[in-house]
């Protein structure tokens, strides 16, 4: 009987120690999961997209949940954009077995701060993908290239960027190595009104008449196609230009424009062909501030750059349901302070080198919200 009586406190002590160890282990795992979730979520904050908060919250919770994999745990996320911080709050119920310690609610939290954002300079939306072949290159060393579909680099082609990722797969030569399986980035400009203020009679189907003399084109709706030949110079005057009839630059023609936006209707394209010299700078003010080229959402055509004298496309190219195809011999866009491409499909073939610079400050052209830079890497607090 004496032994039995003595055994009771001994069993309680052993049971309490085991229970405390289990509770302490759960507490540590809960903290580790919160840390992992905060770091992953803050990393998502570093991506410039208008849906960044929701993406960061989803990534943080998914990462924390996968890290712990315990049904007792729940996670919530708080984001402070002003401070650039993301907080993961974790909670788990620990039910006592021996009754020594009783039921406990365990809590943990972790804060991570995004210190240095990766500018988003190429965004492929929808299902088109980014494809490069032969000796084509994209050089975007200071920013992120993201595809909502896939990135396929074949033959001797190459992509260089600060961060390269796709929601699908990334295959071929990239530097750094591209990451597949990324969360999609929504179209940041899905709500933009791209319709012209005046309609044209599209049933006329008027053939392009070659321009043989230098022309200054005032902003507005251009119902007739523009075809420049020889060494004709076309100067777009500041403002919004709606091309319902298309824009084709051929031979040694010259296209210039400062503080301009080129918006293409549902049926038309631009083609910078032959040795056409193109230097354009986007709108600095107004509803299209920061935009250089855009299309209506009904436009599913292929916009072509085959001239190697397209040295400046400063601003945002937004063709959400169309393809940008670059087939030049040599560098394209190398003189732009910055450029951003948002397209359903981006296709490079032959031997072009598409240069994407990131000199955002001092360019005189604002960067549209949802792309480009924001001030933010990850520091766990």
Taking the domains of the chain in order of start, what are their residue ranges? Answer: 14-114, 120-355
For residue 157, give the DSSP letter. Answer: -
| d(C-alpha 86, C-alpha 307), whole Å | 46
Each residue of 250-282: pLDDT tens digit?
999 999 999 999 999 998 999 999 999 999 999
219 band by pLDDT with thresholds 50, 70 and 90: very high
Mean pLDDT in residue range 8-31: 67
Percent of the chain with pLDDT over 70: 86
Burial of 261 from C-beta contacts in 10 A (0-12 / 13-18 / 19+): buried
- Report the predicted TM-score, pTM, of the whole model to 2 decimal places: 0.75
> In this predicted structure, what is the pLDDT of residue 191?
92
In 3-state terms, what secondary structure has residue 319? strand
Question: How far apart, in Å, do the first and last CA atoms of the chain sit?
Answer: 56
CB 45 within 8 A of CB 86: yes
Exposure letters 99-129 (e unless 16+ CB within 10 A, then b): ebbeeeebebbbbbbbeebbbbbbbbbeebb
pLDDT digits (tens, 9 = 90+) for 324-363: 999 999 999 999 999 999 999 999 999 999 999 999 999 9
Query: Which two structure tokens, joined as six digits, stand for 278?
Result: 């193109």
Question: Inter-axis angle of helices 2-45 and 52-68, to 10 degrees?
Answer: 150
pLDDT of residue 207: 62
Closest CA to 293 of 336, 324, 267: 324
Q: Average pLDDT of 62-74?
A: 89
pLDDT band at 81 (very low <50, low <70, confident <90, very high): confident
Residue 95 Cα distances to 66, 67, 73, 101, angstroms: 22, 21, 12, 9
Q: Which string of b and e fits 309-343 if b means at least 16 CB within 10 Å?
A: bbbbbbbbbbbbbbbbbbbbeebbbeebbbbbbbb
pLDDT of residue 24: 85
C-alpha to C-alpha distances, 208 to 204, 205, 225, nearest whole angstrom: 12, 9, 5
The residue among 229, 223, 219 whose CA lies nearest residue 243 is 223
Taking the C-alpha atoms of residue 73 and residue 106, their distance in angstroms, rounded to an integer, is: 9
Query: Mean pLDDT throughout 110-124?
Result: 83
Q: Band of the pLDDT at 74, cuts 50, 70, 90? A: very high
Tell me: the pLDDT tens digits for 289-326? 999 999 999 999 999 999 999 999 999 999 999 999 99
Q: Residue holding tokens 């929601």?
A: 167
Do residues 30 and 108 make contact, with C-beta atoms less than 8 angstroms apart?
A: yes
Q: Cα–Cα distance between 80 and 380 in angstroms, integer?
A: 14
Per-residue pLDDT of 192-204, as tens digits, reads: 999 887 888 766 6
- How many Cβ atoms are within 10 Å of 260's Cβ, its own excluded? 25
Q: Is the pLDDT of residue 375 over 50?
A: no
Cβ count near 5 (within 10 Å): 8
> How much is the pLDDT for 377?
40
């Amino acid at each position: 009987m004496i032994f039995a009586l003595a055994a009771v406190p001994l069993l309680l002590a052993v049971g309490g120690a085991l229970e405390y160890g289990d509770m302490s282990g759960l507490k540590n795992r809960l903290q580790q999961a919160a840390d992992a979730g905060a770091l992953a979520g803050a990393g998502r904050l570093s991506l410039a997209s208008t849906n960044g908060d929701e993406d960061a919250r989803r990534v943080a919770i998914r990462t924390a949940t996968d890290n712990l994999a315990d049904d007792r745990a729940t996670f919530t996320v708080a984001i402070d954009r002003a401070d650039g911080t993301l907080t993961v709050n974790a909670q788990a119920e620990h039910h006592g077995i021996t009754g020594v310690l009783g039921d406990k609610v365990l809590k943990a939290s972790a804060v991570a701060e995004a210190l240095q954002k990766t500018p988003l300079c190429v965004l492929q939306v929808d299902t088109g993908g980014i494809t490069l072949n032969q000796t084509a290159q994209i050089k975007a060393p200071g920013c992120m290239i993201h595809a909502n579909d896939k990135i396929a680099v074949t033959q001797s082609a190459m992509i260089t960027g600060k961060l390269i990722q796709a929601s699908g797969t990334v295959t071929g030569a990239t530097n750094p190595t591209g990451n597949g399986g990324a969360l999609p980035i929504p179209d940041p400009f899905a709500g933009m009104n791209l319709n012209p203020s005046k309609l044209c009679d599209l049933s006329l189907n008027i053939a392009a008449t070659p321009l043989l003399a230098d022309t200054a084109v005032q902003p507005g709706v251009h119902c007739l196609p523009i075809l420049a030949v020889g060494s004709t110079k076309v100067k777009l005057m500041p403002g919004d230009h709606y091309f319902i009839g298309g824009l084709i630059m051929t031979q040694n023609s010259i296209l210039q424009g400062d503080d301009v936006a080129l918006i293409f209707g549902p049926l038309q394209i631009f083609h910078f062909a032959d040795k056409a010299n193109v230097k354009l700078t986007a709108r600095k003010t107004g509803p299209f501030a920061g935009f250089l080229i855009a299309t209506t959402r009904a436009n599913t055509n292929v916009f072509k750059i085959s001239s190697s004298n397209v040295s400046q496309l400063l601003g945002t190219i937004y063709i959400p349901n169309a393809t940008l195809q670059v087939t030049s011999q040599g560098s394209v866009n190398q003189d732009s302070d910055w450029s951003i491409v948002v397209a359903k499909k981006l296709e490079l073939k032959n031997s072009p080198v598409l240069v994407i610079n990131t000199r955002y400050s001092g360019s005189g052209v604002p960067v549209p919200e949802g792309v480009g830079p924001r001030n933010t890497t990850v520091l766990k607090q």
